[in-house]
Amino acid sequence: RKEVEQDPGPFNVPEGATVAFNCTYSNSASQSFFWYRQDCRKEPKLLMSVYSSGNEDGRFTAQLNRASQYISLLIRDSKLSDSATYLCVVTFGNNNQGGKLIFGQGTELSVKP
């Protein structure tokens, strides 16, 4: 079983749609959780951190359920510019291990006019 699993998609949605991505992780010792965005052939960029209390940044809402080892990302009112691959990322390990990033394989989103 992969340490971090995502639905690879692609998700094809019209502008203005609401889309939800799900992610599960296998290591209960995971410490930090993130969503990254990756545009075609470019480097990943941090979209938002994910907390148990949930967090919202404009049209984006992220949730963490530690008991179920589940992370979600909700995008409301999708824009063409939201088209990208969304990477679910967790870290675990002590300070000596540097908090290694473990990536899911990514979920591709395509927003159409």
Partner 1 sequence: NAGVTQTPKFQVLKTGQSMTLQCAQDMNHEYMSWYRQDPGMGLRLIHYSVGAGITDQGEVPNGYNVSRSTTEDFPLRLLSAAPSQTSVYFCASRRGDGYTFGSGTRLTVV
Q: Name the residues that contact partner 1, by CB under 8 A.
A: 4, 8, 32, 34, 41-46, 49, 87, 91, 95-106
Closest approach of partner 1 to the CB of residue 65, in Å: 20
Distance between CA atoms of 53 and 35, rounded to whole angstroms?
15
Tokens of 25: 């992780």
Contacts 24+ apart (CB under 8 A), 28-31: 28/66, 28/69, 29/92, 30/69, 30/90, 30/91, 30/92, 30/102, 31/90, 31/91, 31/92, 31/93, 31/99
Closest approach of partner 1 to the CB of residue 104, in Å: 6
Looking at the Cβ atoms of 38 and 72, the one nearer to partner 1 is 38
The DSSP call for residue 6 is E
Closest approach of partner 1 to the CB of residue 25, in Å: 13
Looking at the Cβ atoms of 49 and 110, the one nearer to partner 1 is 49
Looking at the Cβ atoms of 74 and 102, the one nearer to partner 1 is 102
Looking at the Cβ atoms of 69 and 76, the one nearer to partner 1 is 69
